[in-house]
Amino acid sequence: MIVDKTMKKVRRKIGKYEVGRTIGEGTFAKVKFAKHSDTGESVAIKVMAKSTILKHRMVEQIKREISIMKIVRHPNIVRLHEVLASETKIYIILEFVMGGELYDQIVQQVKLSENESKRYFQQLIDAVAHCHKKGVYHRDLKPENLLLDAFGNLKVSDFGLSALTKQGDDLLHTTCGTPNYVAPEVLSNQGYDGAAADVWSCGVILYVLMAGYLPFEEADLPTLFRRISAAEFVCPLWFPAGAKALIHKILDPNPKTRMKIKEIKQDPWFRKNYYPVKLREDEKVNLDDVQAVFDDIEDRYVSERSQINEGGPLIMNAFEMITLSQGLNLSPLFDRHQDYVKRQTRFVSRKPAKVIISSIEAVAESMGVKVHSRNYKMRIERVSSNKVGQFAVVLEVFEVAPSLFMVDVRKAAGDTLEYHKFYKNLCAKLESIIWRPGETSLDSGLLRQMTF
């Protein structure tokens, strides 16, 4: 173990879970890596402040998201284990999916093979069909909300914009989703069928998997919406005839004639090498605990114990590093090619932690962005170039060995492609402090120095 008199190892516990580092951060929530104290099972904990939920009037939305994730239990959907609460926070305990986003696969490989694309698409359709059977419509299907487990199986996540149909009203009326993946009828503000809208998004995802780029992409939203409404797109020449025909039937701007999931499952191209998921008998779902989390804080009390570190950056242990590398090979952490940038990225430096922070602050300010620093964590913000929304990045410094620091960079808000460009530009300007090891990854001496 690393011994540092100026630093204390941070320990924190939420119920029966030992909490580790932040692995994701958004406007209203943080996601923490954690392990079950008794079983050692890895989980992800979504942490939300009750004050924030109340301030933004999100109580019903959060209740809905939690309830939906309890209802839609399926091998290709991220599983919700349980919900806990303290006096100030709500904790959603989720299955930890270590394979990263499907989006990362597309960025890394540019485009996927026909067989890979088909397998992911088949698993996506299975998951979406199960949701629809339960009366749940996702409404924000895109590669960034599709995760991969350790075996390469797809897991649908992020049900924050999902809807449950109400009896007597089969149409949805809220315009939501990501513009490039949204169905044309969603933009019309006249009500839409949630199932048909999800199918459209699935068609766009299949196109992106096989092409490596979007079927509808324009610099300004009015032009983008016009192209989507007219279904103006062209399939690349390398698309097989079967896939091309299927995509054209799915990306039909008329929701009434658009292909339905039942028809997709009968399509010859889809059915080749298709192995449907065998589900257990439907589990009875009790949502009483969801209500209890919001209504009765004392009965659902969660003990939290933490020691605040004031002497320097947090120490990252070897186990946490392995979880970051998505396997036992640590080399991706220290030898990442600059032409492959993930949504979550990191670099290593041998400079002192304070020098790293001051260098990043100086570079960020030179790039014309707002910088907010606290201890060894930093948030960088600016308005996106397309003016659609805010762009934000979170950086945090960790000590992985004496005189060796890792800077973890995460997209907190905004477009992923814009984040890719920002990260490359940032690294180029920080070249003087970034340490790049040789062809060998992590030597045995360094491994022996890391915290276990």
Residue 329 is encoded by which pair of tokens?
């090979």
Q: Annotated catalytic, 140?
A: yes
Residue for token pair 């997709």: 264
Question: Nearest to residue 205, comparing CAs of 134, 156, 238, 164?
Answer: 156
Q: How far apart are the first and last CA of the chain?
A: 6
* Count of CB atoms situated within 10 Å of the CB of 132: 19
Q: Maximum Cα–Cα distance for the chain, whole Å?
A: 69
Give the integer Cα–Cα distance in Å for 197 and 199: 5
Residue 22 is encoded by which pair of tokens?
């932040």
| 37 touches 18 (CB < 8 A) | yes
Q: Which listed residue (104, 126, 140, 408) is catalytic?
A: 140
Bridge partner list, 85: 90
Give the integer Cα–Cα distance in Å for 150 and 138: 24
Do the annotations mark residue 55 as ligand-binding?
yes
Alpha-carbon distances of 372 from 52, 81, 96, 357, rounded to whole Å: 19, 34, 30, 11
Q: How far is CA 217 from the centre of its chain?
A: 21
Residue 285 contacts by C-beta under 8 Å, 6 or more apart in sequence?
70, 71, 73
| 60 touches 290 (CB < 8 A) | no
| 233 touches 216 (CB < 8 A) | yes
| Binding-site positions for ATP | 55
Catalytic residues: 140
**Annotated binding site: which residue ranges?**
55
